[in-house]
Amino acid sequence: MRRLIFAAWLCAIVMGLPAEALREGGQAPAPPPPPPRVPAEASREGGPMPAVLRAYAAVDADRLAHPADGDWLMVRRTYDGWGYSPLDRITPANVARLQPVWSFSTGVTNGHEAPPIVNNGVMFVATPGNQVIAINAKTGAILWRYKRPLPEDVVLLHATSRGVGLYRDKVYFAAGEAVLVALNARTGEEVWTTKVAENKAGYYMSVAPLVADGKVIVGASGGEMGIRGFVAAFDADSGKEVWRTYTVPAPGEPGSETWPNGDQWKTGGGPVWVTGTYDPETRLTFWGTGNGGPWMGDQRPGDNLYTSSTIALDVATGAMKGHFQYHPNDSWDWDEVSPPILVDYQRNGRTIKGLIDLARDGYMWFLERTSGPINFVEGRPYVKQNVFMSLDPKTGRPNVDPARQPGTGREAEFCPSHWGGKNWPPVAFSPKTRMVYVPANENLCTAMIGRPVTYTAGRGFTGMTNNLMIAPGADHIGEVQAWNVDTGARVWTHPFAGSTNWGPILTTGGGLVFSGGTQDRLFRAFDAATGDVLWEFPTNSGIIGQPSSFSIDGKQYIAVQSGWGIDSRTMQARLNRVRPGDFPEVPEGGAIWVFAIK
């Protein structure tokens, strides 16, 4: 495998920093040689290893489970998926003075969705184009850059990465062509690579790996091409596969009775493209699964377990210990790939060890996690939803309005749209406000009609045509919503009149919510309690990246990638055809931004 490591600083754009800061390591007196962890030819070009890398703090299981306040070691910072930093130096009182400290051009276009992951001052950022960049988080100086050439004919329908995982002295990256890569955190050198699935058959990866129990856990995208979804774990040291659990059961396995029609399970979908959450207490990891393939439910009779579900897997063995299917026999492209976040909440006077998911089907699901089964507690719509007429009070199974379920040759209109009330961008939860913050798209609906489709490996297997529509009378689309998890009541909503919202959310101990997501390229800070916009800043492109927060020498920073693309771009283009001129093109091109109070 080719690997490219550049120690040049060509793409660094550092504002207000002396030139020396850009040449970290290059001008310093010769330091002692780094420990011989990699062959000599694999070390960085261009001089001695920078001090921040020599001092790299290896990540262990305890640090993953209990990260220092100033670190952001995994995609949502903590296993519970909260997207919450306890750092509290930046507050509603001073956030108006938030300013850029440095920015850094990634050199690529398309959708930049990964968070800046920060370990003790070293930042790792994944971008589209199979790239991982290591940067000095304080100065913006590049440390190393890894680029893995994509095959010429790669099947990669969503050319993005949602982040890297860290463990010991390695960085784990899910390459687009469905290859898992372990890099040396100090040098960017490949340590091992493992083929996860066959890209020519439509499997590709965009997920950030989850590191737990000494394993690196990933899933694959490709539901549009009739893959059979799975979650798989690999030994963190060797890359050897430890277990693989399919999201669509084979004949004879539990749940296979929900695939009564021959070999359809082989192409049944259920892709996985968002990192799961993990409960160290029960050692269960929770993953969301995508919709079935092909897209029309009438072409694959049955409930189609475990599509559009959350599954609970034993981290040691991969055994499925529980599941909850949000809606059976999906016909709306409602991938439910966001994993539920782990939040213990109050209901009827008791504390429930909970799971909460803001699903693409437009419902907010309150569930209960146990050492195995997942129990339904309640569900309610958080955007316009005209498909579910009711939920079974015991099981949560929706009673679907057949007039709102498209089929083969049968068009149906439904809300929310096939992109869902919320797509992949993650929610955040603050233990201080007890609120979950939701990037939603309200007032969108879809008309969809199915057509017969034949499976060909690696080719489209959706079998449908759709039109996106804006609900009559709509005065906005994008929203940030805040819900109190203990009362189940909505506390505030911030609408975006002229834009959709594709912005992942960060919340902080300082009482703020950070998010972008809109077509005006703004990155915003909201008052977490009230929803008031306290600060905003126009970046280079639209922000669909996951914001993070870290601290160095006691100073708090906010970091995010700006780089519009993929589904946000598609939705904007389609809306601009529905209402020409109202949803203008957003400039593309990726950059990392880091902000602090000056």
Contacting positions for another protein (CB under 8 A): 1-2, 39, 41, 108-110, 127-131, 150, 152-160, 176, 189-192, 200, 224, 456, 458-460, 462, 465, 565-566, 569-570, 573-574, 577
Burial of 27 (0-12, 13-18, 19+ CB in 10 A): exposed
SS3 readout for 58-122: CECHHHHHCCCCCCECCCCCCCCCCCEECCCCCCCCCHHHEEEEEEEECCCCCCCCCCCEEECCE
What is the dihedral sign for C-alpha 9, 10, 15, 16?
A: positive
Q: Which residues contact 247 (CB under 8 A, 6 or more apart)?
A: 219, 228, 229, 230, 231, 270, 271, 272, 289, 306, 307, 309, 311
How many helices and strands (H and E) does the chain possess? Answer: 4, 40
Q: How far apart are CA 321 and CA 3, in angstroms?
A: 39
Q: How far apart are CA 246 and CA 595, in angstroms?
A: 41
176, 206 contact by CB (below 8 A):
yes
> Among 359, 365, 319, which Cα is nearest to 337's?
359
277, 328 contact by CB (below 8 A):
no
Q: How far apart are CA 436 and CA 343, in angstroms?
A: 10
Q: What would the two tokens of residue 500 be?
A: 């959709």
Q: How far apart are CA 371 and CA 142, in angstroms?
A: 44
Q: How far apart are CA 478 and CA 380, in angstroms?
A: 19
SS3 52: helix
Q: Which lies closer to another protein via its Cβ, residue 45 or residue 152?
A: 152
124, 104 contact by CB (below 8 A):
no
Least separation in angstroms between CB 412 and another protein: 18
Least separation in angstroms between CB 583 and another protein: 12
> Among 355, 366, 365, 367, which Cα is nearest to 385's?
365
Instruction: Give the strand pairing for 179-184 and 190-195.
Output: antiparallel
Q: Which residues contact 355 (CB under 8 A, 6 or more apart)?
A: 286, 310, 324, 340, 341, 342, 343, 365, 366, 367, 368, 369, 374
249, 256 contact by CB (below 8 A):
yes
Q: How far apart are CA 172 and CA 330, in angstroms?
A: 33
Residue 348 CB neighbour total at 10 angstroms: 6
Q: Count of residues for the chain?
A: 598
Residue 364 φ/ψ, nearest 5 degrees: -95, 120
Point out the residues that are catalytic: 333
DSSP 289: B
Degrees to nearest 5, angle at CA 179 with 177 and 180: 140
